[in-house]
Amino acid sequence: MKQNFGKTSAGEDVTSHTIGAGALRVCVLTLGAALQDVRLGGVAYSLTLGSDNIADYQGVMRHHGTLIGPIANRVGNSRVTIDGLTYELERNQDGRIHLHSGAKATHRQIWQVADHSDSRLTLTCDLIDGLCGLPGNRRITAIYEVTAPATLTLTITGTTDAKTLMNFANHSYWNLDGSARYDGHSLRIKADHYLPCDADNVPTGDIADVTDTPMDFRQPRVVTAGAPPFDHNFCLSGQKQPLRDVMTLRGQSGLEMTMTSDQTGLQVYDGRAPARPGRETYEGLAFEAQAWPDAPNNKNFPSIEVTPELPYQQTTQWRFTR
């Protein structure tokens, strides 16, 4: 189902598209390819944090549910080198750090609908050479598909006519209880290592064992807002893998979400800021399947280079049970 969602501040039309199968219904916006609403049959609230106000998605909620790229997360020195050429990127965090690809990133674009059926939505976004500071005329395709009984699959592909960098992430926030904060949720992450960060939340370059640290979630643990503080990449693997379960979140309601991905990393953010308008901080946890952040500046991290011959591809699934 297609509906008008409103107009951006620039007068661009935004539409919402609902797809579903079995017990699951989701709504996706053309603004930022945002996952706006996720409904499980018999549950009275959305499992993801969204808004019905388009202005929110152009303001404090620009990272809620949106598809972020071409480089999600941070590039510490706002500079990358490709085939010996240096590219300066927008310094949009404290005037020093490149965060989430800046003002022209995919989460700020109006995506085009290429196909829409009852259970599947295909969106595309074109990035011209030089946009977001990177080379290549690029086409990004995002396919959202719902399958019974209650699984959502996101497949992202990216093609380019020149060597470039790509690291996309869906930035949805989740709360399985419909509560003011996510306190009491149980979390499991299948990662033996994580990336410590500096005061700017940029990886230090170290790859740390989770053993005997607050980041050991190999067995389910109850989480409380800010304990531990999350804005870290969990290292799932040293190279891309076939789809496998990487994370399970369980609410006190008994609802459970298992995340399956082929990516090397999972960024977890605790929602300390910003809050949805009229809501508290720490309302939901963000889980971002992606490659390791700041990879261009850390040669021991898996590469995020993409070429015309080797395009970008990511698949992530969210499976809901109760």
Round the average pLDDT of the chain to a whole number and report it.
97
Classify residue 227 by its DSSP letter.
B
Measured CA distances, 138 to 40, 127, 244, 316 (Å): 35, 5, 28, 21
pLDDT at res. 44:
97
pTM, entire model: 0.97
What is the average pLDDT across 140-166?
Answer: 98
- The gap from C-alpha 63 to its chain's centroid, in whole angstroms, comes to 8
For 125-138, what is each residue's pLDDT tens digit? 999 999 999 999 99
Judge whether 148 and 25 are in contact, CB under 8 Å: no
What is the average pLDDT across 10-28?
Answer: 98
Return the C-alpha torsion angle 182, 55, 38, 230, nearest 10: -30
pLDDT at res. 94:
94
Token pair listed for 261: 């991905």
Q: Could you give the count of Cα atoms lying within 13 Å of 266 in the half-sphere of its Cβ? A: 29
Question: In 10 A of CB 239, how many CB atoms?
Answer: 7
Give the count of domains, the chain.
1
What is the average pLDDT across 91-99?
Answer: 96
For 277-291, what is each residue's pLDDT tens digit? 999 999 999 999 999
Phi first, then psi: give them for residue 102, nearest 5 degrees: 80, -160
β-strands 112-116, 98-99 pairing: unpaired
pLDDT at res. 299:
94
Residues whose CB is less than 8 angstroms from the CB of residue 162 and which lie 6 or more positions away in sequence, other chains included:
129, 135, 136, 137, 308
Q: Three-class SS of residue 167?
A: strand
Judge whether 89 and 75 are in contact, CB under 8 Å: yes
For 221-269, what is each residue's pLDDT tens digit? 999 999 999 999 999 999 999 999 999 999 999 999 999 999 999 999 9
Q: In the structure, what pLDDT confidence band is assigned to residue 72 with cuts at 50, 70 and 90?
A: very high
Listing DSSP states for 45-65 in one string gives: S-SB---S-HHHHTTTTTTSS
% of the chain beyond a pLDDT of 70: 100
- The conformational region for residue 49 under phi > 0 = left, psi -120 to 50 = alpha, else beta, is beta
pLDDT at res. 208:
98
pLDDT at res. 49:
98
| Domain CATH for 79 | 2.70.98.10
pLDDT at res. 293:
98
Q: In the structure, what pLDDT confidence band is assigned to residue 184 with cuts at 50, 70 and 90?
A: very high
Radius of gyration over alpha carbons of the chain, in Å?
Answer: 18
Run of H or E including 306: strand 305-306
Judge whether 311 and 319 are in contact, CB under 8 Å: no
% of the chain beyond a pLDDT of 90: 99
Q: In the structure, what pLDDT confidence band is assigned to residue 122 with cuts at 50, 70 and 90?
A: very high
Question: In 10 A of CB 193, how many CB atoms?
Answer: 17
Q: In the structure, what pLDDT confidence band is assigned to residue 53 with cuts at 50, 70 and 90?
A: very high
pLDDT at res. 235:
98
pLDDT at res. 33:
98
pLDDT at res. 277:
97
The runs of H, that is alpha helices, within 30-103 are 54-57
For 190-207, what is each residue's pLDDT tens digit? 999 999 999 999 999 999
Range of the domain at 21: 2-321
